[in-house]
Amino acid sequence: MSTVNNMKQISLEKVVINIGVGKSGEPLERAKNALEELTSRKPTQCGAKNNVRDFGIHKGEPIGAKVTLRDTEAMEFAKRIIQAKNNQLKESSFDNYGNISLGV
């Protein structure tokens, strides 16, 4: 009789995909369209946290977009992305809290 320990199973709570373009307007719209094509979900805009005078960015100005996937959508997307990376991730992609960060 074999029992499965659920605490040893890998679980996935969510996948957050974001694109930071650094300015609003046409580049932000292209980023939002790219996220929508990748995930089939409508992205939300992310505003700047602070003013950055050198780049002409004001606090609250939309400069990025993100989509959060959960449950089966998250698992399917994670499988696709890891396959795109040839099923290999660097050790530096992982942190001590179970998070994975990677670029494609």
Count of beta carbons in the 10 Å neighbourhood of residue 4? 7
Measured between alpha carbons, how far is 53 from 72 in angstroms, rounded to an integer?
A: 42
Residue ranges of domains in the chain: 13-86
- 20 near 64, Cβ under 8 Å? yes
Please write the tens of the pLDDT for every residue from 33-59: 999 999 999 999 998 899 888 888 889
pTM score of the predicted model: 0.79
> Has residue 31 got a pLDDT over 90?
yes
Q: What is the largest CA-CA distance in the chain?
A: 66
If you classify domain 13-86 with CATH, what class do you get? alpha beta
Q: How confident is the model at residue 1 (pLDDT cuts 50, 70, 90)?
A: low
> Has residue 80 got a pLDDT over 70?
yes
